[in-house]
Amino acid sequence: QVQLVESGGGLVQAGGSLRLSCAASGRTFSRSPVGWFRQAPGKEREFVEAISWSGDMTYYAESVKGRFTISRDNAKNTVYLQMNSLKPEDTAVYYCAAHSRGIISIATSYDYWGQGTQVTVSS
């Protein structure tokens, strides 16, 4: 069993930065790929970035290329999402997910989810 808790969301002006954290409990977290997804009101949950269990491979959506960076610290059981140059269209609830059983950019492949953290970017 893995429990995930996201933090670090908030209100920021366009062009600003935030760093989200996903803290996990559970021994298998450090051996699991982790993904960040987001969901805006009235829209489907969409893939943002993912990282391999070792941290040596990362995957990102084109919409965040060059602006967001995912990283992890397995000693702390934590995955981070550094978000720079934020845009109003980045406004959403951001979720982290662990234990992918398939394609890591697909939400349904993950077994565990956090409760989400709100990110609001004002123009």
Q: What is the pLDDT of residues 12-48, one digit of tens each?
A: 999 999 999 999 998 788 889 999 999 999 999 999 9
**Residue 77: per-residue pLDDT:** 94
Residue 116's region, left for phi above 0, alpha for psi from -120 to 50, else beta, is left
Distance from C-alpha of 68 to C-alpha of 75, rounded to nearest angstrom:
22
* pLDDT at residue 91 tops 90: yes
